[in-house]
Structure 1
Amino acid sequence: MPSETIFVESCHDKTSIETRITFNGNVNGATATAPAVILAHPYGPLGGNMRNNVIIALHNYFASKGYVTVCINFRGCGHSKGRTSWTGMPERGDYEAVIQYLKTSSPCKLSHLIIGGYSFGSMIAASLRPSSEDFDIPYSYLLISYPVSVQWALTTVRNSFFTQQINGLLRPAATTTGFEGSNHKVLVLYGDHDQFTGVRSYQNWLKNAGQHVESVIIPEADHFWFEHENNLVRKVNDWIVRAF
């Protein structure tokens, strides 16, 4: 599949961020359209990068379906410059830069965007809300093994910000308190052997989620998904078929 590696400047501080874009579609004609997905990896200091087993499996799946498929290496990972932050806020700027790049330089007109991530990457993805001025197409979220119980360790003094963002994404579009939540489709996937967040913690976290949120628990899978990548991809495909 044709892939291109480019470097974008982070919206946080212009750090150079390595980005891989794959598109196997037919771009002949001005009206050619395709959906897009961005995939973000786990925590860099623990070995996370775009060559992660989950990211590779999802990359291959979405590329085979004709998506404009984008993988990002956060700062300090792969050939990206800089170093991993203590708060997650610079990484938000890294991810935002990729969204901005798609807005202006996608290989075709986009019909939909899936904002995706795995572990640390899912936390960053869930915190982003492209405005209609920034990105005027529908978008959804794919969140795999969200680090519910260890988010505080990944974000330190900005933990409350990321908690507010994910809670706003998961709650119904309108609540009894008047807070405007999300109506974007969200898929949350996790394994029942996750080493960092137990099943009960996930269930308590999701119990007040809106109808726009679909959660799937995969038996025997842990946080790292080794030997469960195919099952993960099947569940993502089921969601794609139903939701889009």
Structure 2
Amino acid sequence: MNAQTQRFLIDGPVGKIEVALDRPDGAPRGIALVAHPHPLFGGTMDNKVAVTLARTLVQLGYVTYRSNFRGVGQTEGEHDNGIGERDDLRAVIAHMRAQPGQSDAPLVLAGFSFGTVVLSHVAAALCEAGEEIERMVFVGTAASRWDVAPVPDNTLVIHGEIDDTVPLAAALEWARPQELPVVVIPGAEHFLHRKLHLLKRIVVDAWR
């Protein structure tokens, strides 16, 4: 992401997991994990939407981690349709919690597309185990193709108006029974081409 980004490997359930870490200037307000889009369609932790989410969370004061899903970059294992990937993200969160000063830091989870699917189930398991999540940010929630679990009611849901990968209607249908507001970016497609500045603004405004 920048010259200060640290990249390293941690042990996961089926092998090594590649992780990127960025730190804010000054004392951190919490920790954050960003999950990337579908690996079989070129998704990596360096995807521009995932990077924009990470940069924004760093700017907001969070020690921010990204990790590659199975079979991407240096992460070992094979794509597991979002099931084994949940265990991998749990391993990354355990690593985050094990770092000095981060055992009880506020936790933010942010995902784009396929990343929202995996994170939704990770969040449900964390909540069931009694772990608090300060906030979640979902961009391009992949509700048209996957089983996206319900999320906490303060989740920030952002979607492109003309998303042809996950139609806006599918995101609204998923959000409706949860009474979750959906922030729509006018004229934006799935990858938010030329709209990333708006994504950043929406996230920053939500924290104000």
Please give the range of the TM-score, normalised by the shorter of the 2 chains. 0.7 to 0.9
**Which of 84, 90, 103 is equivalent to 2:84?**
90
2:161 partner amino acid? D
Provide the residue aligned with 1:233 in structure 2.
Answer: 200
1:105 is the counterpart of 2:74: no
How far does the alpha carbon of each residue in 1:158-185 deviate from its partner, in whole angstroms, 9 at most, with x for none? xxxx44xx13x2xxxxxxxxxxxx45x2
Provide the residue aligned with 1:196 in structure 2.
Answer: 165
SS of the equivalent of 1:70 reads: strand
Matched residues in 2 for 1:132 and 1:218: separation? 29
Matched residues in 2 for 1:54 and 1:5: separation? 19
Provide the residue aligned with 2:41 in structure 1.
Answer: 46
How far does the alpha carbon of each residue in 1:11-40 deviate from its partner, in whole angstroms, 9 at most, with x for none? xx332110111113446xxxxx52111101
Provide the residue aligned with 2:4 in structure 1.
Answer: 2
RMSD: 2.3
**Which of 53, 73, 76 is equivalent to 1:81?**
76
SS of the equivalent of 1:123 reads: helix
Provide the residue aligned with 1:158 in structure 2.
Answer: none
% identical equivalent positions? 24
Matched residues in 2 for 1:224 and 1:122: separation? 14
SS of the equivalent of 2:144 reads: helix
1:21 is the counterpart of 2:15: no
Pairing 1:116-127 to 2, within 5 Å after superposition: 116-127=110-121
TM-score (norm 2): 0.87
Question: Higher mean Cα deviation, 36-45 or 108-117?
Answer: 108-117
Assess if the C-alpha contact under 8 Å between 2:32 and 2:107 holds in 1: yes
Structure 1 residue ranges (4+ consecutive) displaced by more than 6 angstroms after TM superposition: 132-135
Provide the residue aligned with 1:216 in structure 2.
Answer: 183
- What residue ranges of structure 1 are gaps of 5+ in the alignment? 28-32, 152-161, 170-181
Larger Rg belongs to: 1
Matched residues in 1 for 2:83 and 2:128: separation? 21
Q: How many residue pairs end up in the alignment?
A: 205
Matched residues in 2 for 1:202 and 1:50: separation? 23
Matched residues in 2 for 1:106 and 1:139: separation? 19
